Amino acid sequence: MHQPHHTLKQDLTKTLLIWGSSFFALLSILFSLSFHSFENYILELLADHRLDYQSIEFDRHLKEHDMRIIIEESETLVQSTVFAAIVLTDGKGNTLASTINTDIEQLSRLKKPLTAITANDIVKNEGALHLYARQLPNQSNTIYLIMDDRTISGTIIKVSVFCGLLLLTLLLISIKALHYSLRRQLVEPVEQLRNSIENNSVNATTLKDLEETLPDEASDILGIFEELKHSNDEMKTHIIEMMETLPACFWWSHDGKSYSGVSNKATTVLDKSPDDIQGTELWLWTEDPSQLSSNHLQLQQAIRQQDDKLDFAYQIEKDGQSFWYGESVTICYHMDGTLDTVYGIINDISVRKTRQQEQAERLEMEHRMAAAATLVGGIAHEFNNALAGMNGNLFLLKQNTDNDKNKHRIRRIEQLIQHSASMVDHMLIFACKNTRKAGPVKLIEFLNSFQTSLLPELQERTELNLSFSQNCDGIEPVILADQKRLHEVLLQLLNNAVYAVKESDKPQINIKVDSFNADNSFLRQHPHITSRDIVHIQIQDNGCGIPKDLHERIFEPFFTTREVGEGTGLGLSMVYGYIRQIGGAIDLNSGIDTGSTFQLYLPASKSIGDAIQGASLLQGHGETILAVDDNHMFRESTREVLERMGYTVIEAENGKQAINLFKQHKHQIRLVLMDILMPGLTGIQASRQIREVNPDIPVIFLTAYDRTHPLEPEVYENNSELINKPFSIPVLFQAIHKVLKAHAE
């Protein structure tokens, strides 16, 4: 749409009027806001000056006992319209002399001599009157002076109005002079230049005349205009040659409906000859009626809206293949808003679209894996709670039976519980919610030991090779991981490799280790890597391989290609979860009958250390323990176990109840056994409120599922312990003994 027509002269006049009006409005506001302050300031100056003078005079006359002179001076003073009354009082407030201006109505009605109290009452009831007081020097006498501000107000208003009119006159004269000067030196030459450009009558003579008339700034604009006009003419002349150098196909249309011209790149980009396209309807070469209609609709809508740019992408089918094209269209208009020329650039973006689709599929897989991890974590929590309750009840059964067969059955159940706990642990590793602390692992020593332990279990024909690159000779690669978990990860990958090579003529498995420094490209490809120093482990086999269409699913939980009963489908999901948990990444290269290679990229570590812990069954001595857990069966079995071992137990089924019980028995409770995940208040939140009552109380936290990994700082404090469900009874008693002993010391 065209903007409303207006001239520079109109804009200038409007701007000056707005500025002038705003200036006087601001002056009026400032005057109204400061009027009373200015008025009071003048009154105070007059009052101070008059009281200074009168106090000296009255003091002198009082010493001479001449009251007649005091009265005469008072009468002379109130003849002025500013001074309404004057009163002289002694130290007790008695009036010695008072004189009033009878022209003031409020004072003329007085029938008694004016006193200090009367003067104060009159001033309070009359806004125009103001009272000032001054004590005579070296005496207890006081002068009270009443002043009338109406005369001063009128004088101020008259002076302000006169000054305002003077300023307005000067402003109007200045605006008129400025307007005249700008009109002669700028407005008229600019209008002349505009008319010349509109009539296309700008020539050398016209430009020369205008340059002499316009100021230097406007003359510079004329020079720029001439340069742009010349450049525009040259660009129109050479635009076709310029566009031919582009790798894209360039086209233009004068009517927005058919091709007026097409660059030679149409042959390679569109697989069409420029001669075949020129003169035809826009996008007719796509041979797709629906796409042709859609593109025309977008272009016509952009022209109606007076848009300058239009970018869109579309897909067409050619010879059974899909091709993506991206098109950038520039629309030029005449000064009257009608269409001038449409320019377009067409790019073949099929490769980029394919890459974007692959990235979207990879992101979808990560979201699917994350959703599966959340589901697995929740299931693991419920299983661990159940297994923990079973452990406690089995311990009680074992303590109450002497039958060897029953003891054997109990041991078998314990083994099944341990196996189930291991499966749940694998699920938690996949979900990246395992809370075990990692330690430094020397890979050369670890892998050599791993190979030695594995050799006896391999088939006779299977060859297992372990090799280290030259860059591992100087410094042994070290990673930060849990050795047991790392052993399980490698064992799972080796088991898969053994299964894959069982039908090979010469089954072979190779483990190769090297290290390198990751570049930015590698880190972008593997965003979960937490270090540039990478230890690279390859596990390669010459087995049957994995089809390409299954690569995206092999890390999903419960997905397996083996026969029923040969696998749970949790192995590779556990591997994937643990590698991600320690800040690494895993890739797969495989194909049918070409073997498989699992690539493990693990962040290198330079720290070395070991951690050893043990557990033993220890008896209590009647200490009171607050056991908090929302699972009734686990809480009941735990209470019986603790009581059997010599402890006194108080139960709580949630965090709020635990806080109330602790406040009631804070002097008896020596230890809190707290489940982390509970409805309402979590174990962490409840422990914080309990420690507000007793900051030193020991807390053993129990967790079947860590949703908040890494855990809050309270779990790792000196007077805290963390035990993962399900746990063995000796581990629980060892933790209880440890924290009670530390608290006693």
DSSP string, 432-466: T---PPPEEEEHHHHHHHHHHHHGGGS-TT-EEEE
Q: Are 604 and 531 in contact (CB under 8 A)?
A: yes
Higher pLDDT, 666 or 95: 666
Q: Are 150 and 128 in contact (CB under 8 A)?
A: yes
The helix-helix angle for 150-182 and 8-63 (nearest 10°) equals: 160
Tens digits of residue pLDDT in 683-701: 889 999 999 999 889 998 8
State how far the alpha carbon of 18 is from the alpha carbons of 23, 187, 243, in Å: 8, 19, 50
Provide CATH code, domain 8-148: 3.30.450
Instruction: State whether residue 274 is helix, strand or coil.
Output: helix
Distance (Å, rounded) from C-alpha 389 to C-alpha 725? 9
Report residue 422 as tokens: 């291991």
Looking at residue 359, the DSSP 8-state letter turns out to be H
pTM given for the model:
0.31
Residue ranges of the chain assigned to CATH 3.30.565.10: 438-603
Q: Using the CB atoms, write b or e for 166-184: b if 16+ within 10 Å.
A: eeeeeeeeeeeeeeeebbe
Provide CATH code, domain 438-603: 3.30.565.10
What's the mean pLDDT in 8-19? 71
Answer whether residue 729 shows pLDDT above 50. yes
Helix (H) or strand (E) holding 672: strand 669-675
The helix-helix angle for 204-213 and 216-244 (nearest 10°) equals: 140
* Residue 319, CA atoms < 13 Å, CB-side half-sphere: 1
Pairing state between β 463-468 and 720-724: unpaired
Higher pLDDT, 255 or 502: 255
- Nearby residues of 13 by Cβ (< 8 Å), 6 or more positions away: 179
Distance (Å, rounded) from C-alpha 316 to C-alpha 271? 13
Domain 382-434+613-745 belongs to what architecture? 3-Layer(aba) Sandwich (3.40)
CATH class of 246-348: alpha beta
pLDDT of residue 168: 80
Task: Kindly report each contact of residues 312-317 with a partner whose C-beta sits within 8 Å and lies 24 or more positions away, as own/partner.
Answer: 313/349, 313/353, 314/286, 315/291, 316/286, 316/287, 316/288, 316/291, 317/288
Tens digits of residue pLDDT in 99-135: 887 777 667 666 667 777 777 878 788 778 888 888 8
pLDDT of residue 119: 79
Residue ranges of the chain assigned to CATH 3.30.450.20: 246-348
What's the mean pLDDT in 136-148? 84
Tens digits of residue pLDDT in 257-301: 899 888 888 888 888 888 888 889 888 888 888 888 888 888 889
Q: Are 597 and 348 in contact (CB under 8 A)?
A: no
Percent of the chain with pLDDT over 90: 6
Answer whether residue 518 shows pLDDT above 60. yes
pLDDT of residue 232: 63
Sign of the alpha-carbon torsion through 654, 660, 661, 666? positive
Q: Are 429 and 373 in contact (CB under 8 A)?
A: no
| Average per-residue pLDDT for the chain | 76
What's the mean pLDDT in 331-338? 85
Based on its alpha-carbon atoms, the radius of gyration of the chain, rounded to whole angstroms, reads 49
Average the pLDDT over each of 59-68, 359-368, 513-522 and give the range with the smallest value: 359-368
Length of the chain: 745
Residue ranges of the chain assigned to CATH 3.40.50.2300: 382-434+613-745
Distance (Å, rounded) from C-alpha 443 to C-alpha 471? 13
